[in-house]
A and B are shown apart, each in its own frame.
Chain A
Amino acid sequence: MAGSAWDCNAASGPPRHTVLVRVTQWITALCFFALLLSGIEILISHPRFYWGETGNVNSAPLFQFPIPASRGSVPTGYGYVLPDQNGWSRSLHFQAAWAVVFTGALYVLAGLLRRHFQRNLLPAPAHLSWRALSAAPAAHLRRTPPDEAEAWSYNLLQRLAYLAVIFALFPLAIWTGLAMSPAFVAAFPWAVEAFGGQQSARTIHFFVSVLLALFLLVHIAMVVLAGFRTRVRAMITGRLDAPRENA
């Protein structure tokens, strides 16, 4: 094994994931769980979505979820009203949002300074050809086992998904969230006008959250398929053992 990539498993070798990536990953995971839970609670108080500047129970919704609501004024068709959880849900949502913004800013700043994105996430230009891009999902679905080099890096679909989450979905979730704040848009009206109104921003915020939740589901499924214990250990301790579970 001398000279192979697995030598890096020695305690003195570089970790699979740096301390900064591991710490920010788990804080982000915790915050995302809090944001998702509190976001669902907030949605339950008014499970209707609109487009444009305004919307309320007297106007036609873009769509409505067929679920009971935590407010009696919403016509849901159910004969009961769920308990009001908006107070702590909103407080938890904004506190977790602050935490994820600080964590994300630290991660992105460090990632740029240490060239983490260029080295580990940006696909090589050769991999961005139409052929490579169209072949990747099929290879992925055939579950071709990753080679040794891949265990130490990310494949093409992973790179594109991570880049989209870091540089498109999270920023868009933060932006649409701010666009719902009456005080924020008083100072920066373009932040909500860009979406065509406060209710449009709320609807986009919802769909971005759905995409982030879908990403999380696929991410966990891939971790399970690639070897749950090895992958999670690598993300906690930084160490990557021989891929027993892939054998």
Chain B
Amino acid sequence: MKRPSRRALLTTGFSAAGLAVAARLADRYGLIPPDHGGLYGPGATLTYAAHRLLAYDSLAREFPRQLISARPFANPVAPPGEDFKRHQAEGFTHWRLAVDGLVERPASLSLADLKRLPVRSQITQLACEEGWSYIAEWTGTPLSEILDAVGARPQARWVVYFSMEHGWWESIDMADALHPQTLMSYAMNGGDLPVGFGGPLRLRVPRQLGYKSLKFVARLTVTDNLKKFGKGLGSASPEAGYSWYAGI
């Protein structure tokens, strides 16, 4: 067997070290998605890194009132469980949004508590990965206001959010969590958010496709490590074969 030349060894060594340094830097600057492993990891990482480098804090498009869709559409959801039916019968007066993890003051917020925080309304588009879309006006509490109220710690890197619908959970990075248009929305087109559209609470993330806008949100967890949740891929979507980042 031929011994590798010194030059080949040095080149390989420097390339490996260079790649390792690049990976460390990319991770430090938040350019690596939690589902970066696997066959489609390179493409997913390129998309996420490109969007974070080029458009970290750009605002999603907002539309004039006349562009609000007359007949919006929402994918059907599984029939609600007993818990949900009870909440619905009570008009969601006992619905709670639990906020925990890396926060100074863990909280359990009612809809009334949320409505006492600053309000934002915006007319944005919801586009589904299937190809359809609609425009509606959403009203709610900016997630940044909730994180401010509970005192999110500086080491926070992700916000994980859970639906009351069993098995549905998602997460976003701080670029989206602190983004002014990321709303914990409780109203749509001027009325209470309909159950079919995720009421009483839906986290609207308008810079990403519809599946990141989780319905029936009941809990938020602030974390610095997504490995602790599910299979460690960031959300239920990659576990079902869908990309964690859905800005495309």
Q: Could you tell me the distance in whole angstroms from the C-beta of B124 to the nearest C-beta in chain A?
A: 9
Query: Which of A54-62, A120-128, A151-159, A235-243 touches B?
Result: A54-62
Query: Which of B54-62, B96-104, B218-226 touches A?
Result: B54-62
State in angstroms the CA–CA spacing of A98 and B71 once bound together: 36
User: Which of B132, B241, B242 is in CB contact (< 8 Å) with A56?
Assistant: B132
State in angstroms the CA–CA spacing of A189 and B209 once bound together: 16
Interface: A184 (CB within 8 A): yes
Q: How many residues of A contact B (CB 8 A)?
A: 39
B60–A186 touching, CB < 8 Å: yes
Query: Which of A88-96, A216-224, A226-234 touches B?
Result: A88-96
State in angstroms the CA–CA spacing of A97 and B132 once bound together: 21
A180–B127 touching, CB < 8 Å: yes
State in angstroms the CA–CA spacing of A54 and B66 once bound together: 13
Q: Could you tell me the distance in whole angstroms from the C-beta of A93 to the nearest C-beta in chain B?
A: 9
Contacts of A16 in B (CB 8 A): none
B132–A186 touching, CB < 8 Å: no
A95–B42 touching, CB < 8 Å: yes
Q: Who on chain B is nearest to A69 by CB? A: B130
Q: Report B202-229 CB contacts with A as 1/0, cut-off 8 Å.
A: 0000111100000000000000000000
Interface of A is mostly: helix
Q: Report B223-247 CB contacts with A as 1/0, cut-off 8 Å.
A: 0000000000000000011110001
Interface: B47 (CB within 8 A): yes
Q: Could you tell me the distance in whole angstroms from the C-beta of A39 to the nearest C-beta in chain B?
A: 11
A182–B125 touching, CB < 8 Å: yes
Q: Report B130-165 CB contacts with A as 1/0, cut-off 8 Å.
A: 111111000000000000000000000000000000
B242–A87 touching, CB < 8 Å: yes
A187–B54 touching, CB < 8 Å: yes
Interface: B75 (CB within 8 A): yes
State in angstroms the CA–CA spacing of A72 and B40 once bound together: 27
B72–A184 touching, CB < 8 Å: no
Q: How many residues of B contact A (CB 8 A)?
A: 42
State in angstroms the CA–CA spacing of A94 and B71 once bound together: 31
A184–B40 touching, CB < 8 Å: no
B43–A56 touching, CB < 8 Å: no
State in angstroms the CA–CA spacing of A88 and B75 once bound together: 20
Known contacts A88-B241, A91-B243, A95-B43; decide if A183 and B51 are in contact (CB<8 Å).
Answer: yes
Interface: B14 (CB within 8 A): no
Q: Could you tell me the distance in whole angstroms from the C-beta of B80 to the nearest C-beta in chain A?
A: 18
Some 20 contacts from A to B, beta carbons below 8 A apart, are A43-B131, A46-B131, A48-B131, A56-B132, A56-B133, A57-B132, A59-B71, A73-B75, A87-B241, A90-B129, A91-B39, A91-B243, A94-B43, A94-B248, A97-B43, A98-B47, A182-B207, A182-B247, A187-B58, A198-B127
Instruction: Contacts A90-B129, A98-B42, A98-B43 known; list 16 others, CB within 8 Å.
Output: A48-B131, A54-B134, A54-B135, A56-B72, A56-B133, A58-B69, A58-B73, A71-B130, A72-B76, A86-B129, A87-B243, A182-B208, A183-B55, A183-B207, A184-B51, A189-B61
Interface residues of B (CB under 8 A from A): 39-40, 42-44, 46-47, 51, 54-55, 58-61, 63, 67, 69, 71-73, 75-76, 125, 127-135, 206-209, 240-243, 247-248
